[in-house]
A and B are shown apart, each in its own frame.
Chain A
Amino acid sequence: MSLFGSLQVSASGMAAQRTRAELLVENMANSETTRTPEGGPYRRKDAVFSSDVEASPFSAVFQNELGAGVTVSEITQDTGEPDRRYMPGHPDADANGYVAFPKMNPAEDMVDLLNTTRSYEANIAAISSVKDMISRSIDIMRG
């Protein structure tokens, strides 16, 4: 019972890291996007992680569960000033000929993406280890 719970916890970690990877890839794909449905240039997104033990305090206390999974509690958008480039011929240029581009730092996104991949792999390692423990328990029954 406890072991299957561990699988769930690791799976929540994988899901959260996957969400973050999706956002990072979206950021990189939209590094030159000047039009969005909300208007203005694309704004960099990032995921905020939070531990989900407080999500249901009653049931947590009731079942006396240990170990908490992780959830993406919020997706933040960069609110900083966009990059302005002088491109008078651009259809999105303002009166002075400047175009607002998303403020991007590709190096930062790449490093974050690498970190995300490593964390994802760490969760996979946890799952394989627990899987091995479960199959060992089943082996006991085989005698």
Chain B
Amino acid sequence: MLDGITSNLERYMDLLSARQKTVASNIANADTPGYKTQDIDFQFEFMTLAKGEQPQVIQTPGLADKSDGNNVNLDQQARLLSEDQMRFNLASVLVKGQLKTVQEAIQGGNTA
């Protein structure tokens, strides 16, 4: 039980931190001429990624270029930033719950 769910959650959190890094980099480069918005294909990476491997960076398609060739949409990145943060928080609460269950099992239900 601990293995299945917890390791999936761990991978999920890993991917979220990687995604958060691309978002941070997009925001940092919001004024860099010619910079293209980067992202990771979340679902694909979650299904295929082996543990400890770095996900593949892709360029977000369908974004309009500004006059300097940059296509970072700050509003969209702000949404991703808080969305990833909330997902990460949820995952961390779930992991905590998992660990608590194991702890309770070890203590035979005497959590007091």
Contact = CB atoms under 8 A, between A and B. Distances in A.
Interface of A: 2-3, 5-7, 9-10, 12-13, 16-17, 20, 48-51, 64-70, 115, 119, 122-123, 125-127, 129-130, 132-133, 136-137, 139-140, 143
Nearest to A69: B28
Interface string B9-26: 000011011101111110
A3 B20 contact: yes
B32 A70 contact: yes
A139 B24 contact: no
Interface in B30-74: 30-33, 35, 38, 40, 54-55, 57, 74
Interface of B: 13-14, 16-18, 20-25, 27-33, 35, 38, 40, 54-55, 57, 74, 77-78, 81-82, 84-85, 88-89, 92, 95-96, 99-100, 103
A126 B32 contact: no
A9 B78 contact: no
B25 A9 contact: yes
Contacts, number: 122
Given A126-B81, A133-B88, A136-B92, A2 B14 contact: yes
A51 B32 contact: yes
B80 to A, nearest CB: 10
Given A49-B33, A129-B82, A140-B95, A123 B28 contact: yes
A73 to B, nearest CB: 9
A119 B23 contact: no
Given A2-B14, A125-B27, A133-B84, 15 more contacts: A3-B17, A66-B21, A67-B24, A67-B25, A119-B31, A122-B30, A122-B78, A123-B24, A126-B24, A126-B27, A133-B17, A133-B85, A136-B88, A140-B92, A143-B99
